[in-house]
Chains A and B, each alone.
Chain A
Amino acid sequence: MIKNFFNHSYAKIREINKKYETPSIEMSKWVKFSLLLLRLYLFTLIGLMLYKFISLLK
């Protein structure tokens, strides 16, 4: 039963990934720039969180 559940979930996730493979929004310069800034922001934030986590472990 558990195996079935995981198999079904895995298949569903693959289906979702396929369905939303290509972004539907028009990738204008403005959209690309915003998404790039967002990526940089999130990487910085995750870096700070990792730093905090590692400094707590020390």
Chain B
Amino acid sequence: MNIFARLYYRYRRMSKAMRLFLLTAGPGIIVMVADNDAGGITTYTATGAKYGMHLLWFLILLGPVAYYVQEMTVRLGAVTKRGHAEAIFSAFGRVWGWFSLLDLVMTDWLTMITEFIGMTAALSIFHIPPVITVVICWIIMGAMISTGRYWTWEKIALLFCGINLIYIPAAFMVHPSVKDIAFNSTVPHFPPGGFTNELFFLLMANIGTTIAPWMLFFQQSSVVDKGLHEKDIKFGKIDTAIGAVLTVVVAMVLIIVCGILLNGVPVDDAAVAARQIMPQSSIIGTLIAIGLFDAGLLGAICISLASSWAFGEVFGWAHSLNDNVREAPWFYAYYIFDLLLAGTVVLIPGAPLVLITLFVQVIATTLLPAALVFLILLLNDKKTMGEYVNTRWQNIINISIVAMVIALSTMYGLSTLFPGMFN
């Protein structure tokens, strides 16, 4: 075979692989970008404002952490063709099953409220009243699922993922020092002032936003609904890796922007950060507000679907986005009910929104370790996973990550519950 024939053969093979990847990509990118939800954006702005670019290296480390955990859900979904909730019921029985399902529903609903809080706060910067914002969100989310096609839903969700990258131009506009970024990204170090309780809390908060229980349920159900098989696992892994890179890039960009424009300013809300940036640069402030709205919207879309899928799997309802409303009435009814309930709470005058935001962290702490332990055990079940069972090295990496995430997220939950605990 001459060189041209070989090159042509390689080109055809690459082109086919690329087409296959584009067909299977979606769940990984969506779940990872949605991970930068309203709560995540707030955490990154607070981190940047408080410590400048000093924690960029830590954010980079979180990328592989998120990848390794989520990659397991791809394998589990593709091999078992079951969502995470159904897999837990089947493998560990009804007690652990109900615990996971009810805890997921509660955590998701409370997290949804925080997404609506973020979205209303973001659009209030443009003088849009919360009622209008909530109604706009309901319409968008309702319209997305009304087509009865997973593909359409996924493409719209990917569009929102693209909008999430709106922060990237903002980073170029603040003209950061490349040398500073390179140093802070590659050399692990503590910010000036050393290791303090405040730093510890922010590190834990960043981990808390990187791995959330709904992400495990969402990606596995999404892989199943999309119809991925064992042969698609390698593409699912690439999809997840790209998502992990995107999520880290967005987090880094926000930290760089806030580290330069709000250095030393106490920030505990991304919408407040956007307002504070407005006098310095109305364009960057606007980009942050739009990004916050988009993050909340994407988060709410994925979280409500995670719960609906989980309920559908366990109760045996038709639960695919490929079914229309008539074919899967309970699945869509639960999705809409979740959205309406979360949006309405935000509109109640005097609702304890701050308390809800704190409570999310605490209650998620009870579900995350359980979900992660179940994930590891399921991935080690040779009978279920066959040749896709965790290898020794995968176990070493995944168990270390899971142990670290459990320890730190527990400390985060406890420090939310008892603020002076680690003083």
Contact = CB atoms under 8 A, between A and B. Distances in A.
Interface stretch (B208-216, B266-274, B366-374): B366-374
Interface in B1-50: none
Interface string B313-356: 01110000000000000000000000000000000000000000
A22 B316 CA distance: 18
Contacts of B90: 20, 24
Contact of B381 (A16, A25, A37, A38): A25
Nearest to B418: A52
Interface string A8-26: 0000100011001111111
Chain B interface SS verdict (over half): helix
A23 B91 contact: yes
Contacts of B315: 12, 16
Interface string B366-390: 1001100100111011011000000
A20 B94 contact: yes
A25 B92 CA distance: 7
Contacts, number: 62
11 contacts: A20-B90, A21-B93, A25-B378, A25-B381, A25-B383, A38-B370, A38-B373, A41-B369, A45-B413, A49-B362, A52-B417
B414 interface: yes
B410 interface: yes
B93 A26 contact: no
Chain A interface SS verdict (over half): helix
Contacts of A38: 369-370, 373
B378 to A, nearest CB: 7
A42 B377 CA distance: 17
A47 to B, nearest CB: 12
Contacts of A24: 90-91, 384
Contact of B94 (A17, A25, A35, A48): A17
A21 B96 CA distance: 11
Contacts of B413: 45
A34 B369 contact: no
B381 A23 contact: no
Contacts of A41: 369, 410
A12 B316 CA distance: 9
A26 B97 CA distance: 16
